[in-house]
Amino acid sequence: MAMLKTILGNLLRPSRTRDPADMPDVPPVYRGALAHDAARCTACGTCAFVCAPKAISFTQDPGVSVSWHFFIGQCSFCGLCAQNCPTQAISLNADVPAGMDSAAGDGLRLESVVHLQPCTRCGAAHVPLPDATMAVLWGTEEAERGYCPDCRRWAASARLRSAFVPAAAEEVHHER
Amino acid sequence: MNLIERVVAISRRRSPWICRLNAGSCNGCDIEITPLLSPRYDAEQLGVELHGTPKHADIVLISGTLTLRSREAILDIYAQVPNPKAVVALGSCPASGNVFAGSPLVLSESLDSVVPVDVWVPGCPPRPQAILDGIARAAKLLEDGATKSQLQNWLGRLS
């Protein structure tokens, strides 16, 4: 009789296991797929250098853009790239990448394009530094913000020269 | 498709039997399969049952880096799985070789060049729910007759 009661009780009760949709939450520190912020990337290549499985690579379209490529099928989710990125352009999402139907192909590849900007002094195309970095280096109003690395070096040496030889400061202004 | 074939197709989706194949894995992906079969993730509510022999399986889970020696084993075991069959590749290793790519005895190529793969589950290792999702996808493909091996057979019959 007791057995019959149990059976009847279980017939009316919903399932006591988790539904496939009701999965345990992913921990917030879980290292999932990578996200790349092109506005913060300086294309320095540190992430590609520290990536042990070579999941990250850069390609360039000279004078126009630099592309950051990530192939999730080759990633071991160690997080070294996010740890070593000097401008925090890379972060690891906490969400789980879903299954892919395509072969190690399109769905698994991520591309992020960093557009080059012309230098405000010489016009050479270069990867702009992220705003936060520039604010620390030169404040928000400085003319050097739009300079390419060469012009920045020139500006730094010009400043140095004018500090030693005040007369040279005049020349600098004429040059511009 | 007549009624009986339809019933067979549906029951195939409702009860996909799986077989694990470690092709040179670090065991990370295989360890994630164990909780998948435990009550917490409970793959058996989808009818998923783990079988030790490929001859009873519908879906083969292949994990790990492909090596020169495991290539032969994969082909051998894949041939033993009765048709229709589906292949789920677990983790990054089958897709590319991951950190082992470029080692002397490692095939630095995707599993697709050895056997037709239907679902890729990214992760290193993938979470159990991602693996469960991959198995569910493969079971759906089996029901629809859309796995790569089924499509190949179908094309073979046409020509």
Chain B positions touching A20 (Cβ under 8 A) are 45-46, 129, 132-133, 136
Rounded Cα gap, residues B62 and B75, in angstroms:
12
Kindly state the DSSP code that residue B105 receives in the 8-state scheme: T
- Average model confidence (pLDDT) across chain A: 80
Which of B88, B97, B132 faces A20 most closely, judged by CB atoms?
B132
Q: How do residues A154-163 score in pLDDT, each as one tens digit?
A: 888 888 888 8
Amino acid at residue number A154: W
* Terminal-residue alpha carbon distance, chain A: 100
Rounded Cα gap, residues B144 and B139, in angstroms:
9
User: Taking CB atoms and an 8 Å limit, are A108 and B122 in contact across chains?
Assistant: yes
Interface of B with A (CB under 8 A): 39-42, 45-46, 88, 92, 95-99, 101, 110, 112, 117-124, 126-127, 129-130, 132-134, 136-137
Size of interface A-B (CB pairs under 8 A): 99
- Report yes or no for ipTM above 0.85: no
Q: Contact at 8 Å (CB) between B81 and B111? A: no
Q: How do residues A14-70 score in pLDDT, each as one tens digit?
A: 777 777 677 777 788 888 888 888 888 888 889 999 988 888 889 888 878 888 888
| Angle between helix A149-164 and A168-175 (nearest 10) | 150
Q: How do residues B19-78 score in pLDDT, each as one tens digit?
A: 999 988 888 888 988 888 888 888 888 888 888 899 999 899 999 888 988 889 999 999
Contact partners, residue A141, CB within 8 Å, separation at least 6: none
Q: Does pLDDT of A175 surpass 70?
A: no
Unique residue bearing structure tokens 């016009």: A123
Rounded Cα gap, residues B85 and B82, in angstroms:
7
Q: How many CA atoms lie less than 13 Å away from B156 in the CB half-sphere?
A: 6
User: Taking CB atoms and an 8 Å limit, are B40 and A18 in contact across chains?
Assistant: yes
Distance from CA of A22 to the nearest CA of B (A): 9
Q: Contact at 8 Å (CB) between A38 and A73? A: no
Q: Classify B53 as helix, strand or coil.
A: coil
Residue B74's H or E segment, with its range, is: helix B68-80
Rounded Cα gap, residues A25 and A117, in angstroms:
42
- pTM of this prediction? 0.80
Maximum Cα–Cα distance for chain A, whole Å?
108
- Predicted confidence at residue A130, as pLDDT, reads 79
User: Taking CB atoms and an 8 Å limit, are B119 and A73 in contact across chains?
Assistant: no
Dump the DSSP string for chain A: -HHHHHHHHHHHSPPSSPPTTSPPPPPTT---SEEE-TTT-----HHHHH-TT--EEEEEETTTEEEEEEEGGG-----HHHHH-TT--EEE-SSPPPPBSSSSSGGGEEEEEEE-EE-TTT--EEPPPPHHHHHHHHTTT-GGGG--HHHHHHHHHHHHHHHH-TTHHHHHHHH-
Q: How do residues A114-162 score in pLDDT, each as one tens digit?
A: 888 888 888 888 888 877 777 777 776 666 777 888 888 888 888 888 8
User: Taking CB atoms and an 8 Å limit, are A99 and B121 in contact across chains?
Assistant: yes
Which of B42, B101, B122 faces A72 most closely, judged by CB atoms?
B122
Long-range contacts of A134-139 (CB under 8 A, 24+ apart): none
